[in-house]
Structure 1
Amino acid sequence: MALQYQDFLLEEFRSRRTRNPHYSLRAFARDLGMPASKLSQNLRGLCGISVAKAEQIATRLEMREDEKLLFLTMVESQHARSRVARQQARNALQRLSEEKLDELKLEKFAVVRDWYHMAILELTDIRGFKPDVAWVAEKLGLPESLVRQAVERLQALELLEISGDGWKQTHVDMELEAGLPSRTIREHHKQVLTKAIVAIDSVPAEKREYSSQTMTLDRRYVSELKTMIREFQRKLSRVSHQGEPDSVYVVGIQLFPVVEADEK
């Protein structure tokens, strides 16, 4: 089935629910600037939205220009006033979909965006792992329905193999085409940082490490620092899976300016 703009909205809603389980459809409607009843009907295909409204939604969701173009074209293909305009949009959508998003890419983006996909894969390698959705959900503190969807997604992308012998991470490199939405990556970092904030109070100090350093820097050396960070991450990867793994950890590193240089 061809990807529809409602799929984008549903994925965005699910993503926000992942960060905040109490986030409701009413809150999502508020953030999109539309009545909750209207949004509910729209997601069920009972009513449409105008292109003008779609532009407002794209702005509120901070879509890139290419994402926005695809989103608006999807809306036009369903809800343009004339049959000719709808057909023109469908033709344009076919051209765009060949070089932009399809359903498989959207699934890949979800794996990159939502922290628990990688956590599930890593969990399969720890001592005492149980190949059971309920067990995984309890370990990760997630609803079983969310874990089940994630497992199905990982299977579809051939990142997780399920057989009579259990669950096995395939370690297959996931090809991510150019054009991965920047907001997908931003959302991933937000989720990880949110987990880190919670862990400050919920995880004993002996099981975690938090540190930060504030320093002056010539911005010409930022790229060198980024290279050093990536090299450190590669060293960390070499430690992973050594011995008998019994835990899943996240290591997050941030580098950002608090005072930026004046433009010359």
Structure 2
Amino acid sequence: MEEMIKLNSDISVFLYDVLTKRQEKNAKYSLRAFARDLGISPGRVSELLHGRRLPGRDLILRIADALKLSPLETEGLFRLVHRQKLVQKENGGARQLLADEYAMVADLECYGLLMLMETEGFKSDIEWIARRLNVTALRVQSILERLERLNLIRSRYGVYERLQHRVTSTHDTPSDVLKESHANVMKHAMEALYNVDLNLRDITSITIPADPDKLSQAKEEIRLFRRKMAKIMGSGKTREVYNLNIQLVPITK
């Protein structure tokens, strides 16, 4: 159990691993049974598994007692939750992927599939997903398996659901991984320029004189703008998946 705590990046993944191991031993073992064994409500367990809430001190102790954790393992669980709280505070509640984890999902198709799962009318059908993302069924299967290994999604009775609704990378993610991710996004935008109807896209640019000392302020404004656009486009009937791609780069040397 101590090794499971060390290997996991947050409490939801740890609990999901515990639940999965019990279900492997007993196919009839349910979420309700897990909640009963932990001594908490099924609703609270669901919130913990989906990363919607973090447990306080009393709940951590209750979970540790129910799982018969040693004092050392209980201390590790406290550290795990504390670290997750710091990360969520820094990243606005998002699950922070470790560098090697981010490298596994750092392409537009992975994020596209995660976002597609949040649209209206999503179907847990590989052929349907492949058509929507314009990729092969084999590619979809590979992405789904990758996302399941990272506990970002799960499949229950043939239905896929997200376990984490926001993810971000760590500060130590290798620059070549991020560069490849950005290049992939820009390549998709270039293809959309020629293949997507003007009424379904917006590609624009502006060239300006600039004070480099204002770059940090500009980056913050761009970050706020991204959030604002996500809120605007994410309201109403979400039927499609879009990518907002912004570059601010120097022309002069």
Instruction: Report the TM-score range of the alignment, normalised by the length of the smaller protein.
Output: 0.5 to 0.7
Which residue number corresponds to residue 66 of structure 2?
Answer: none
Given candidates 114, 139, 147, the residue that maps to 2:132 is 139
Give the SS at the match of 1:228: helix
Which residue number corresponds to residue 167 of structure 1?
Answer: 160
Indicate yes or no: 2:143 matched with 1:150.
Answer: yes
**2:126–2:140 CA contact under 8 A, matched in 1:** yes
Per-residue deviation, 1:240? 4.3
Per-residue deviation, 1:148? 0.9
Given candidates 102, 106, 121, the residue that maps to 1:108 is 102
Q: Distance in 2 between matches of 1:173 and 1:187?
A: 21
Give the SS at the match of 1:161: strand
For structure 2, the residue ranges without an aligned partner over 5 or more in a row are 1-97
Q: 1:176 to 1:204 in 2, by over 3 A?
A: closer
Q: Distance in 1 between matches of 2:251 and 2:157?
A: 53
Q: 1:180 to 1:211 in 2, by over 3 A?
A: same
**Amino acid of the structure 2 residue aligned with 1:106:** D
Given candidates 198, 208, 212, the residue that maps to 1:205 is 198
Question: How many pairs align?
Answer: 156
**1:158–1:172 CA contact under 8 A, matched in 2:** no
Sequence identity (%): 29
Per-residue deviation, 1:244? 1.7
Which residue number corresponds to residue 122 of structure 1?
Answer: 115
Which residue number corresponds to residue 242 of structure 1?
Answer: 235
With structure 1 as the length reference, what TM-score do the two structures score? 0.55
**2:153–2:161 CA contact under 8 A, matched in 1:** yes
Q: Distance in 1 between matches of 2:163 and 2:122?
A: 16
Indicate yes or no: 2:222 matched with 1:229.
Answer: yes
When the two chains are superposed, the root-mean-square deviation of aligned CA atoms in Å is: 1.9
Which residue number corresponds to residue 62 of structure 2?
Answer: none
Which residue number corresponds to residue 72 of structure 2?
Answer: none
Q: 1:120 to 1:233 in 2, by over 3 A?
A: same
Which residue number corresponds to residue 196 of structure 1?
Answer: 189
TM alignment of 1:20-169, pairs within 5 A: 105-111=99-105, 113-164=106-157, 166-169=159-162
Which residue number corresponds to residue 256 of structure 1?
Answer: 249
**1:130–1:136 CA contact under 8 A, matched in 2:** yes
Q: Distance in 1 between matches of 2:117 and 2:148?
A: 13
Give the SS at the match of 1:210: coil
Q: Distance in 2 between matches of 1:145 and 1:122?
A: 19
Q: Distance in 1 between matches of 2:102 and 2:145?
A: 12
Q: 1:179 to 1:229 in 2, by over 3 A?
A: same
**1:122–1:169 CA contact under 8 A, matched in 2:** no
Give the SS at the match of 1:236: helix
Q: What CA deviation, in whole Å up to 9, does each residue of 1:5-38 have, x standing for no partner?
A: xxxxxxxxxxxxxxxxxxxxxxxxxxxxxxxxxx
Q: What CA deviation, in whole Å up to 9, does each residue of 1:171-224 have, x standing for no partner?
A: 355474442110110001111111000101111101100110001111111111
**2:99–2:172 CA contact under 8 A, matched in 1:** no
**2:127–2:137 CA contact under 8 A, matched in 1:** yes
**Amino acid of the structure 1 residue aligned with 2:125:** D
Q: Which has the higher contact order (CA 8 A, sep 6+)?
A: 2
Q: 1:201 to 1:173 in 2, by over 3 A?
A: closer
TM alignment of 1:167-186, pairs within 5 A: 167-174=160-167, 176-186=169-179
